[in-house]
C-alpha cells in the first residue's frame, strides 16, 4: 500500500484508511510547527525559520496524501449535485407550467 496513492473511487475514498490517519497526524504537526515557526521568525531566530520550513513541508506531504481522496469525493458530489439540480429544475418548471 502506497502512502501517496493517486487513484481512488468515490466508494473507496469514503472509507477510513491509514491515509486519513496520516493526514490527521500531519495536519496537527504542521499546525504546531507553523505556529511555533512564525513566532520564531517574528523574533528573527534561525530555529523559527527551520521550524516554519518543517511545518510547510508537513503541510505539503499531508496534501499529497489526502488530496486524491478529496478529489474523488468531490467529483462524486458534483455528479450527484448536477443530477439533483437537473431534477429540481424539471420539477420547478413543471410546477410553473401548471400555475399558468
Predicted local confidence at residue 81, as pLDDT = 92
Spatial CA neighbour of 71 closest among 18, 30, 19:
19
Q: How confident is the model at residue 54 (pLDDT cuts 50, 70, 90)?
A: very high
Q: Which of 9-23, 36-50, 56-70 has the lowest mean pLDDT?
A: 9-23
Predicted local confidence at residue 23, as pLDDT = 94
Q: Where are the beta strands (DSSP E) in 20-98?
A: none
> In the chain, where are the structural domains located?
16-99
Q: How confident is the model at residue 98 (pLDDT cuts 50, 70, 90)?
A: low
Phi, psi angles (nearest 5°) of residue 99? -75, -20
Predicted confidence (pLDDT) per residue in 73-93, tens digit: 898 889 889 899 888 888 887
- Residues 70, 11: Cα–Cα separation, whole Å: 12
Amino acid at each position: 500500500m502506497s502512502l501517496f496513492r493517486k487513484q481512488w473511487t468515490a466508494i473507496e475514498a469514503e472509507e477510513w484508511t491509514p491515509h486519513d490517519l496520516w493526514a490527521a497526524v500531519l495536519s496537527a504537526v504542521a499546525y504546531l510547527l507553523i505556529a511555533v515557526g512564525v513566532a520564531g521568525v517574528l523574533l528573527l531566530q534561525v530555529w523559527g525559520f527551520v521550524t516554519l520550513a518543517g511545518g510547510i513541508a508537513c503541510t505539503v506531504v499531508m496534501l499529497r496524501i489526502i488530496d486524491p481522496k478529496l478529489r474523488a469525493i468531490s467529483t462524486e458530489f458534483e455528479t450527484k449535485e448536477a443530477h439533483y439540480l437537473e431534477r429540481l429544475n424539471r420539477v420547478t418548471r413543471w410546477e410553473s407550467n401548471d400555475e399558468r
